Structure 1
Amino acid sequence: MTNATENYPDSGAPTVHVIDDDPCIREALDGLFRAVGYPVRTFGATVDFVASGHHHSCGCLVLDVFLSGLNGLDFLAQFAGKAASMPVILMTGRADIPMAVRGVKAGAIDFLPKPFAVRDMLDAVASAMAKDAAQRAERARSQQLYDRMATLTGREKEVMSLVAKGKMNKQVAFEIGLSEVTVKIYRGKAMRKMGARTLADFVLMADRLDLRGGSPPPDCA
């Protein structure tokens, strides 16, 4: 049976997700986070969190280390490879240095001993939420670039890749067997489609798309 409570369950707003098998801790954190305006979801076990589907949500995760069933550290090791990089704050009443090191290596951004100061928890969550927002913004920018790249023809991608490697129009033309004028036309079309206002922007976009690694096969469009 799932021990979960949800506030604003239909909201897409960044949410604090809490996993702790102590109902008193869950209730206390639920009240604390709601008091400062965060949507909250609480769970009594990691399996409930995963079953809810919210491990792909935006926000952060406040995770107890010592849980019945799969403990927090083992779950974090699995979670890091499956979830969408949700920042994780670990908490425990039996903290030690090796445990903290293991938690950080597994991807936690903070480690709070119980009992923790309210200010420390709120500061940790604020940092986690800021990191989540930055990660989501970066993913959105990357997706926008990939969407734009999908509009390029094979030849335009090839020209973009070669330009990103520092080749001049004349060199690109020689390498792919086109005239320099035609290369300039392809480059101009690619820059417009990518939204690159300058050659420097164009090269940076190619770097983010990892187009320097090799030229995509042209479709001669």
Structure 2
Amino acid sequence: MTPALAVKSESEFSPAQATPVVFVVDDDVSVRESLEAMIDFAGLRAETYACARDFLGRPRAMVPNCLVLDVSLPDLSGLDLQNLIASERTDTSIIFITSHGDVATTVRAMKAGAVEFLTKPFDEQVMLDAIRHAIECSRVALREEAWMQSIRDRYASLTCREREVMTLVVTGLLNKQVGGELGICELTVKMHRRQVMRKMQAGSFAELIGMAWKLHPDRGGRAKSDSGISGTTGA
């Protein structure tokens, strides 16, 4: 997340403040029951599933959440489930558990984004610490997603001309240069620029550049490095 926008993004959106849920997917009923009891006792909400496909049938949770996932399952393996939800449930942090872990499996799981890999029987406090860490990761991901959606909505409210102006000004071009590129006068550029700042709800030009970088990393990234400015260029 762009540092200049971090405070705003964390305070402006609320999905990440909802009650967290911990999903448990394990074909061993005794493991599911013991984990559910532990999670409930810790003041969190648990949902348990005996197989991967049962969990996949559950709609995505739009609250902070994590998944305690057994590596070996009767239908899909834990690693297969991890791959399936990687793109659609980016806010779901995964804690793998296994009775017979090996280095290769652990490395594969961690490289794919798992936050922890624990071997049964695991220490209760270690598991709770892992769950709390995973939920915090999920909370951050949800805040980022909500913030990004807000930025996309603001950008969608711009007219075509305003988008053209925004694209050029964040590269560091002066208003006169932007006007030359678009075939409009400098005064018109200034008017569009004010509208862009207002509609994007940017508190500074540096913040607008940060938004452009998040929306279009290829163009926004160059804008920050090429502009050589701190927040007032283009007047």
TM-score, scaled to structure 2: 0.82
Contiguous gaps of at least 5 residues in structure 2:
1-17, 221-235
Amino acid corresponding to residue 165 of structure 1 in structure 2:
T
Q: What runs of 5+ residues in structure 1 fail to find an aligned partner?
A: 1-11, 215-221
Letter in 1 for 2:126: D
Would the aligned equivalents of 2:72 and 2:98 in 1 still touch at CA under 8 Å? Answer: yes
Shift of 1:212: 6.1
Quote the offset at 1:83 in angstroms: 2.4
Please give the alpha-carbon distance, in whole angstroms, between the structure 1 residues aligned to 2:207 and 2:176. 20
Partner of 2:200: 194
* 1:102 counterpart = 2:108: yes
**What SS is found at the alignment partner of 2:38?**
helix
Instruction: Tell me which amino acid in the other structure corresponds to 1:14.
Output: P
Cα deviation, residue 213, structure 1 = 3.1
Measured against aligned partners, the alpha-carbon deviations of 1:120-139 in whole angstroms (never above 9, x if no partner) come to 10010001000000000011
- Percent identical across equivalent pairs? 40
1:53 and 2:69 aligned: no
CA contact (8 A) 1:19 1:49 kept: yes
Q: Is the 8 A contact 1:164 1:211 kept in 2?
A: no
8 Å Cα contact 2:25-2:50 kept in structure 1: yes
Per-residue CA shift, 1:172-193, capped at 9, x if unaligned?
0100001111100000011011
Q: How far off its partner does 1:82 sit?
A: 3.3
Structure 1 residue 54, shift from structure 2 partner: 4.3
Aligned to 1:128: 134
**Structure 2: which amino acid aligns with 1:184?**
K
Structure with greater contact order relative to length (CA < 8 Å, sep ≥ 6): 2
Picking from 58, 61, 64, the partner of 2:70 is 64
Partner of 1:137: 143
Match for residue 44 of structure 1 among 45, 50, 60: 50
What is the RMSD computed on CA atoms of the aligned residues?
1.7
Aligned residues: 203
| CA deviation after TM superposition for structure 1 residue 117, in Å | 0.4
* Alpha-carbon distance, 1:58 to partner: 4.0
AA aligned opposite 2:125: R
Amino acid corresponding to residue 189 of structure 1 in structure 2: Q
Corresponding position: 1:81 with 2:84: no
